[in-house]
Structure 1
Amino acid sequence: MIAMAIALEPKLLIGDEPTTALDVTVQKQVMNLLADLQAETGMGMVLITHDLGVVADVADRAAIMYAGRIVETGQIRDVYDYPAHPYTQGLLNSIPSNVSSGKRLTPIVGSPPNLLALPTGCSFHPRCPFATEVCRTTVPPLREPVGWPPGHAAACHRTEEVLSHG
């Protein structure tokens, strides 16, 4: 599939879950191959994945999506070190690590929304520990809070509180 995708020397390669169902060794080889191809050809690459480990290893920027909408975007280190949307925090808190060996994972409570009948306001509000009335009624805009690194934005009415509890 990768050979077919790059045969015409695209300027942009979009990989939708390129490492799903691969063991860790093969996954690393595929990602190294993609990184080498990107470096050699200068092509851009967009990876669509649920694997935050893959994202941390290969991406410069991330856009975290929930219910079809970008809820946070920024440089990888900024998003991982200072998650400003409750969904991003939930994703990062649910990753097992060798430091937290023996501890229970922290799941995101509730269930994902029905995409054909999204809740009003912020789609994450039924699962959000920070939700208030404004979250239930008004879709939050993607915004860069004052004092943040340029290009790091979150779609949350309570971003400052989320950051202070991170």
Structure 2
Amino acid sequence: MLQGRLFSYGDAHRYRVGINADHLPVNRPHATEARTNSRDGYLYDGRHKGAKNYEPNSFGGPAETGRALWQPLPVTGETGDTEAPSHAEDDNFVQAGNLYRLMSEDEKTRLVENLSQNIAGVSRDDIAERAINNFRQADADFGKRLEAAVQALRG
């Protein structure tokens, strides 16, 4: 009867303490450094110090290893992993471009000003250029205006 409580105690603890419960000194391992990608939120202790927790990134963060996460199990019947199909007509930028073209001139100007201020603060030129190129793929005018605004801010 009491075994059912084992589930609820852990859940109640995580609810109270938050996503970083495993980072608290009392909960984390002492013999090794736990390297999770959980961060921010309630009780964050700042140990990651700006390290990126997504992949791909340009700062040496986590990278896919290509190793299987589990060993295959013998099964009967048809099974397997499938990748999402890639279609030639897929366009990841068409909706963003359509939205930009629907905006009034004032909205476009405000959007470009807002984005350019953020992109101009990026420390690496290759990252800023990749960001601008994404907007350029959505709409050529959008990318051109954004690139000019970023260059003006960077001097």
Report the TM-score when normalising by structure 1: 0.24
| Structure with the largest fraction of strand | 1
| Structure of higher RCO (CA pairs closer than 8 Å, 6+ residues apart) | 1
Larger radius of gyration: 2
Which structure shows the higher helix fraction? 2
Under a length normalisation based on structure 2, what TM-score does the superposition of the two structures give? 0.25
